[in-house]
């Protein structure tokens, strides 16, 4: 990760969702070619002490098929990740500084698992209750039509009602 930060060259990757086992388990009907597009970039910034801190920026986007909890059919749910992390030397430092840090803190490890972090973030981005904005079932469509008809009635009623300013104008003419 330090070498990655020193290089400062962003990494752009595409990862099959089926390679992320925990995320794949949450999904209802994963297409074999479903992917997450992600980009990682690390940089060095002056730290509190004499050394520089390693910061990591992770951006990812994907769409995961989940089960809608209203109609129980598949709802393809977009997931977005955009997160900054700062690496610290030990778990103790991470615990101590976590509350006052806006960025997430990660413990520096010799072999940092970026894909694991990406999967963690995508799992956290999952909605608690996956649901369609509008469920694609007949019952709900019908309700939607009734609602539209209701709106039409309402505007007709508005048209039928005399405009108070028009009434005033009439009175003035008289």
68 binds Zn ion (CB under 5 A): yes
Eight-class DSSP state of 138 = H
Out of 30, 59, 71, 107, the only residue in the binding site for Zn ion (CB under 5 A) is 71
Shortest Å, Cβ 140 to Zn ion: 8
132 binds Zn ion (CB under 5 A): yes
Which helix (H) or strand (E) covers residue 65, if one does? strand 52-67
135 binds Zn ion (CB under 5 A): yes
Eight-class DSSP state of 16 = E
Which helix (H) or strand (E) covers residue 88, if one does? strand 74-88
Q: What is the dihedral of CA 117, 120, 121, 125, to 10 degrees?
A: 170
66 binds Zn ion (CB under 5 A): no
Choice between 23 and 68, CB closer to Zn ion: 68
Residues that bind Zn ion (CB under 5 A): 68, 70-71, 132, 135
């Amino acid at each position: 990760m330090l070498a990655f930060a020193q290089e400062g060259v962003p990494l752009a990757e595409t990862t099959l969702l089926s390679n992320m086992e925990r995320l794949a388990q949450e999904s209802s009907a994963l297409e074999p070619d479903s992917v997450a597009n992600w980009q990682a970039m690390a940089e060095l910034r002056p730290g509190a002490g004499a050394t520089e801190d390693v910061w990591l920026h992770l951006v990812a986007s994907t769409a995961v098929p989940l089960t809608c909890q209203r109609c129980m059919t598949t709802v393809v749910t977009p997931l977005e990740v955009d997160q900054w992390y700062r690496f610290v030397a030990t778990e103790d430092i991470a615990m101590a500084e976590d509350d006052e840090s806006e960025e997430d803190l990660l413990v520096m490890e010799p072999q940092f698992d970026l894909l694991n972090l990406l999967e963690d973030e995508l799992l956290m981005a999952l909605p608690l209750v996956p649901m369609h904005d509008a469920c694609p079932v007949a019952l709900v469509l019908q309700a939607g039509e009734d609602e539209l008809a209701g709106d039409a009635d309402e505007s007709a009623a508005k048209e039928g009602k005399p405009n108070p300013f028009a009434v005033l104008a009439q009175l003035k003419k008289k």
